[in-house]
Structure 1
Amino acid sequence: MRALFARLAGVAALAGTLMASVGTAEAQEIQITGPLAGKPPVMDLRRYREGRFEIAPTVSFTLLDEYRRTIFVGGRLQYNIKDWLGIGVWAAYGVGSIATDLTDQIDQKAKPRGSPLTSSNVTPGAFQDQVGKLEWIAAPQLTLVPFRGKLAIFQKIFVDTDAYIHGGVAFVGLKERGDCGGGGGQPGCTEARSFDLASRTAIAPTFGLGLSFYMNKLMSLGFEYRAFPFSWNRGGFDSRGTGANGEFPDDKVNSEDRTFKFNQMISIALGFHFPTSPKIR
């Protein structure tokens, strides 16, 4: 026992010696001298957005359409509160549309009027006249810019670039087949006039992302993706309204025949920024 206590005392003495020899760890501050002393982390940073208005004409094309593709011409007006935050509105008008291959095939195979197989779902020989169409869009929106930097082209040309996301509310003017077969003065759904289109305005969320390439102090080139999902009757069909979950035709065309569509488009924008020179930090 005497030997054990002696060993323990020796270990305790050694531990005390080591603890006494360990000093408090301190971080050493690095003193920067020379021309960089006292300078901020980033110098001569061009703030292309902050405090500037943007006027950007746009050309847009819808994507993944079943029956009709639409071409829009419009523009974006935006004020950038900060380099990372902007508020504005984008609006466009449909200047042209192109029938898809599916529409052409349905047109070719539709039965002529008077045939016993004439359907209340298809205008014989003129199906593309009954499919829905987008006419105009207006979207107040916020823009957030989380990323910015330079894009290198062949490691020789460097372009100031930023990536942004946008979101807001879209007001969409469209035409779709009018109500029929419901009585109260509505035409029957096999009458020729029942295939006429009626106008309405849909309200939908809109969101997306984009890239801006700053070609000089005044101008930028942008590419943008936009989604604006909502329900509408794109084919003019009587496809719903009866059955357990309303999933079967009911010989009527009305709002129950509208189905959800994740509408999408891409846009090309040429931006002009005012004042004509960006702020430099």
Structure 2
Amino acid sequence: MGTLAVSSPASAQEIQLTGPLAGAPSVHRLRNYREGRFELALGPGFTLLDEYQRTIFVAGRLQYNIFDWLGVGVFGGFGAANISTDLTDKINSTATRNSRTAVNLPSNGDYADQTGKLKWMAAPQVTFSPFRGKLALFQKLFVDTDLYLHAGAAFVGVEERGDCGVGKCTQATNPNAFATNTRTAIAPTFGLGLTLYATNFVSINVEYRAFPFSWNRGGFDTRGAGPDASFPDNQINSEDRTFKFNQMVFVAAGFYLPTSPKVSD
């Protein structure tokens, strides 16, 4: 005697939520810290991985947040201080100064004077905030946070050694051979940041920013002749600018208007 077993087709069962949670949103009383608010963030910025000069910026960001996840604004600042690196100090104190190095080093004077420096920056940008949550300090203090991405175009004031033609780049032939000029460099800018909301209208921001472009940071004649213009040509011009992945960190206190965020149902 035998039995015949026939399997029935599998089907998904929809679970109907009943009771007081039926139709309720996933989050109640959510504070939308960004949506519909202006933000002003102020603080210092510090450049990273500099060969010759570190720059300390006095910087700020003004932004309007269209939604809690999307904002538009501008970041800007000016170079309040330029600090010579150890490499710059060593070049100034130990590098040989003779006819062979006359194009690249002044026979007298401070080498740091010819190095490239960042003077100011203005960057219109878009901010996208896809992640938010809470940070716990010692499992007792909980702070609302969000992680944001930003991207835009940077206009950067650059001071670098001025152009000089062949035979005019030494102090023996030109007293202004090592003078610097300023120009405006245009570059993409992008990065990410973390916001900690200390109160409903005050936050703490830590932001990373990259703004890559080419410039003559050492004030040297390094390019312009030979195959691919990769050899010195005894003059200073745009050929001597090399690519640099410029970076900085911005630490700021943020202030919001209106002072109270929107709260969901």
The TM-score with structure 2 as length reference comes to 0.93
Q: Cα offset for 1:244?
A: 1.1
- Which residue matches 2:179? 196
Matches within 5 A, 1:111-126: 111=96, 115-124=98-107, 125-126=109-110
Match of 2:144 among 147, 160, 182: 160
Helix, strand or coil at the partner of 1:256: helix
- Cα distance between partner residues in 2 of 1:137 and 1:40: 43
Aligned to 1:139: 123
CA distance in 2, matches of 1:117, 1:145: 54
For 2:193 and 2:9, how far apart are their aligned partners in 1? 55
Give the superposition deviation at 1:49.
0.2
User: Between Structure 1 and Structure 2, how many residues are aligned?
Assistant: 260
CA distance in 2 between partners of 1:47 and 1:26 (Å)? 36
Q: CA deviation at 1:29?
A: 2.4
2:50 counterpart of 1:70: no
Gaps of 5+ in 1: 1-9
Residue aligning to 2:216: 233
Residues 39 and 133 of structure 1: is their aligned pair in 2 closer, same or farther, counting only changes over 3 Å? same
Distance change in 2, residues 1:262/1:26 (3 Å): closer
Tell me how far apart the structure 2 counterparts of residues 252 and 140 of structure 1 sit (CA, whole Å): 36
* Higher Rg: 1
Structure 2 equivalent of residue 58 of structure 1? 43
Aligned: 1:104 with 2:84:
no
| Conservation of the 8 A alpha-carbon contact between 1:110 and 1:123 | no
- The Cα shift of 1:24 comes to 7.0
Q: Following TM superposition, by how much is the alpha carbon of 1:168 offset from its aligned partner in structure 2, in angstroms?
A: 0.3
> Which ranges in structure 2 are unaligned for 5 or more consecutive residues?
none
Identity of aligned residues (%): 58
Q: 1:86 aligns with which of 71, 77, 91?
A: 71
CA RMSD of aligned residues (A): 1.9
Q: Distance in 2 between matches of 1:62 and 1:25?
A: 60
SS, match of residue 129 in structure 1: helix
Which amino acid in 2 is paired with 1:96? A
Q: 1:26 Cα shift? A: 5.3
